[in-house]
Amino acid sequence: MAETKEEILKKIKDDYNSYTAFEVQQFPIKNIISADELLKAVNDDTEIVDAIKRYSGPILEHYTNEIPRKIKDYCTEIFFWGLPAAGKTWALAGILNTINTGGYFEPYGNTSSEKCISSDYLNGLLNVINEKKAINYLPNKTSNETIRYMNFKLLKAGEERKVAFIDLSGELVKAIAGENVIKNHIDLEEERILLERLLRNKNRKIHFFFIDYERDKNINSIEQQRNYFTNLSVVFNSKGYFEKNTDFIYIVITKSDMIDCAENQRRNKAIRYFNEDYVNFRNNLGKICQDNEINFGDEYKKGDYSFLDDYVLDFSMGEVLFLRMCRFNKKSSGKIVNILLEKVQKERSGKFSIFD
C-alpha cells in the first residue's frame, strides 16, 4: 500500500534519513508532496531543500586504470579496509579534501610509472567536497571490485613524502575474509593475488580498518561484520602479511555520530564498542602487533592488548541528510591527516619494484 502524504511528511520530519535524497527529490516532481510542504517538514531549512533540488550523485571515475606490475618509486602505502557501505569512500573524500585544502597535497611524476595510477578516481574524490557549499553530496557505491592505487606527495614542513592511498573495494575485503572459510576459494582471485604481492613488497605501510557503527542497528548485519573482520585477521596471521613492513594499524569506527552520547564521549564509547563487540578481531590484531612490533605492542605484556585503545578512532563526516547528502565537518578527517603527517616516514633513496 502506498504511503499517504501525511505519512511521508511525518517520516521526513521525524528522521531526515527516512528516504534518500533522490526519493525526496522526486516527491514534488511527482506531485506527491509540494515544495512548500517539504520545506516545512525540514523546519524551513532552505539549504536542505535547495540541495535536494540540485541533487546528483558525484561520479568518481569514468574509467578504471589497472595497477601496473612495477612502480619504481619508494613510498609509504596507506591501506583502507572496509566492508561495502561502511562509509569508507566518503571518508576518503574527506581525508583527501583535508590534505588538499591544508596545502599538504602535491601530484608528481613525469613518466607513466611515476604518475598517479588511479588518477581518475583520485580526482573524483578530490572533487566530491566543495567547502563553499553548505551541503555536499555523498558518492554512490563504487562500481567495480578492485584495488585503487592513488600515489601523490604528502607535504610536511617543506619536506616531501611520497605516499600511496590504496583503497580496497568492500567486495574484495569480503573475498579476502572468505579465504579462511571457503574451500577452493575463487572469488576475485586475481585481485587477491595482486593484493598479496602489494602487502609483501618493501614499502612501509599503515593500515586503517573501517568498522561501520550503524550496522549495530541490525543484529544480522553486525554479526556478519564481526565474522568478516575475525576471518580477515585470521588470514593476516596465517599468511604473515604484516610481519616486516607495517608500522601502524588503526581502527576507525565510522558513522560515530550515531553513537548515543555527547560528542566529547564518542571516542571512549567507540573504544568500548570495539573492545566488547569485536573481541576476536581485537585479540588477533593485538597478537599480530605484539609479534611484529606494530603500534608499540611489543612494549606490553604478552596478551595485554590494551595498547590498541590508543589506535581506535571515532569518525564522522558531519550531519548526514537523506542518506546521500552531508554538511561536511572535517574534524574527524583532520585527525587522520594529522596521524599521517606525524607517522609517514621521510622517504629513503633507491628504486625498486613494489611487486618484486
Confidence of residue 177 (pLDDT cuts 50, 70, 90): very high
* Average pLDDT score over the chain: 89
Q: Among 83-87, 213-217, 234-238, 294-298, which stretch is predicted with the lowest mean pLDDT?
A: 213-217
Confidence of residue 46 (pLDDT cuts 50, 70, 90): very high
Query: Is it the case that residue 66 has pLDDT exceeding 70?
Result: no
pLDDT at 215: 65
Query: Is it the case that residue 80 has pLDDT exceeding 80?
Result: yes
pLDDT at 330: 94
Contacts for 4 with CB less than 8 Å, ≥ 6 apart: none
Tell me: the pLDDT tens digits for 190-214?
Answer: 889 989 989 988 899 999 999 999 8
Contacts for 267 with CB less than 8 Å, ≥ 6 apart: 312, 313, 314
What totals of helices (H) and strands (E) does the chain contain, helices first?
12, 10
Query: Is it the case that residue 1 has pLDDT exceeding 60?
Result: yes
Domain-by-domain residue ranges, the chain? 5-54, 76-343
Share of the chain above pLDDT 90, in %: 66
pLDDT at 217: 60
pLDDT, greater one: 85 or 303:
303
Query: Is it the case that residue 15 has pLDDT exceeding 60?
Result: yes
Q: Where are the alpha helices (DSSP H) in the chain?
A: 5-14, 21-29, 35-41, 46-54, 88-101, 119-126, 170-178, 189-199, 219-239, 266-277, 279-292, 331-343
Query: Is it the case that residue 178 has pLDDT exceeding 90?
Result: yes
In the predicted model, what is the mean pLDDT of residues 164-182? Answer: 92
Distance CA 149, CA 74 (A): 14
Distance CA 204, CA 345 (A): 8
**What phi and psi, each to the nearest 5 degrees, are found at residue 181?**
-130, -15
CATH topology of domain 76-343: Rossmann fold (3.40.50)
Query: Is it the case that residue 143 has pLDDT exceeding 80?
Result: no
pLDDT at 167: 94
On whether the CB atoms of residues 313 and 336 are closer than 8 A, the answer is yes
Tell me: the pLDDT tens digits for 324-352?
Answer: 999 999 999 999 999 999 999 866 544 44
